[in-house]
């Protein structure tokens, strides 16, 4: 702010600068200095009237100078006023930081490996269950999960028992779409699909499909990074 004032101050005549300083003292302290007997009223545009110790000739000169430089005085006032900075703009000399892009977290979350794998598995809904099959047209339970995660660039072990040790454990209440759900004592694996459902290749005679998740059947849940 001091630098800002120095840049503008030489543009004003000494009489104008004196009146501005005098008015600033009054505005800051709330009181005027003692006024000598010979005093006159000076009007500073946009600020107000002030009694200053000048004779009539000096008063006329100062008032004329203030009138001639009224636009410059207003510019100085606007530059120094706190409200001169509009909302959302940075003050002069300060960096202007843009707010984070809305929805950025959601966009990142949609691109997790679990989401990609689950989307891949959804494309196989209706495919036949065949024990020992790992795609691309038929699957057993672990074959479907392994194939789906491969589409996300992640290689998982082949059996549900081995999959029960991958990634990190997840509490039932914190399941997210794409998490592995190990069931039936470790003999079955499905993918959590959200809304209390799983996507799985269930058993012989059935096809890849959604099913309600039974909490009592869960041995462990795993999240693959």
Q: Give the residues across from 218 on adjacent strands.
A: 183
Question: CA angle 34-35-36, nearest 5°?
Answer: 120
User: Using CA atoms, how far apart are residues 23 and 167, in angstroms rounded to an integer?
Assistant: 71
Catalytic residue among 69, 146, 183, 200: 200
Instruction: Specify which residues 134 forms β-bridges with.
Output: 139
Omega before 156 within 30 of 0, i.e. cis: no
Kindly give, in sequence order, each residue whose CB lies less than 8 Å from that of residue 71, ignoring residues fewer than 6 positions away: none
- Is the omega angle on the peptide bond into residue 5 within 30 degrees of 0, that is, cis? no
Could you confirm whether 107 is annotated as catalytic? no
**Catalytic, out of 69, 141, 146, 183:** 141
The closest of 177, 111, 117 to 145, measured between CA atoms, is 117
Out of 58, 151, 188, 203, the active site residue is 188
The answer to whether 221 and 192 have CB atoms below 8 angstroms apart is: yes
Taking the C-alpha atoms of residue 176 and residue 117, their distance in angstroms, rounded to an integer, is 12
188 catalytically annotated: yes
The pair of three-digit structure tokens given for residue 177, joined into one six-digit string? 């779409």
Nearest to 200 by CA among 222, 181, 223, 214: 181
Q: Compute the distance between CA of residue 13 and CA of residue 37 in angstroms, rounded to an integer.
A: 26
Catalytic site residue 174? Answer: no
Catalytic residues: 141, 188, 200
């Amino acid at each position: 702010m001091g630098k800002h004032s120095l840049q503008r101050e030489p543009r004003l005549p000494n009489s104008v600068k004196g009146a501005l300083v005098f008015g600033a003292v009054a505005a800051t302290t709330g009181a005027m200095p003692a006024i000598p007997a010979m005093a006159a009223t000076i009007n500073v545009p946009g600020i107000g009237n002030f009694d200053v110790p000048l004779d009539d000739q000096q008063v006329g000169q100062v008032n004329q100078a203030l009138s001639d430089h009224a636009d410059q005085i207003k510019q100085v006032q606007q530059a120094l006023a706190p409200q001169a900075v509009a909302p959302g703009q940075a003050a002069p000399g300060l960096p202007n930081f843009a707010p984070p892009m809305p929805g950025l977290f959601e966009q990142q979350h949609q691109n997790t490996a679990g989401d990609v794998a689950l989307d891949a598995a959804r494309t196989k809904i209706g495919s036949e269950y065949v024990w020992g099959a790992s795609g691309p047209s038929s699957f057993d339970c672990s074959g479907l999960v392994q194939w789906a995660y491969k589409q996300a660039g992640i290689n998982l072990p082949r059996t549900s028992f081995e999959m029960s040790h991958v990634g990190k454990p997840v509490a039932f209440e914190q399941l997210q779409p794409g998490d592995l759900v190990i069931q039936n004592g470790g003999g079955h694996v499905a993918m959590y699909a959200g809304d209390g459902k799983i996507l799985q290749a269930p058993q012989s005679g059935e096809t890849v499909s959604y099913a309600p998740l039974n909490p009592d059947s869960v041995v462990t849940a795993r999240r693959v990074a």
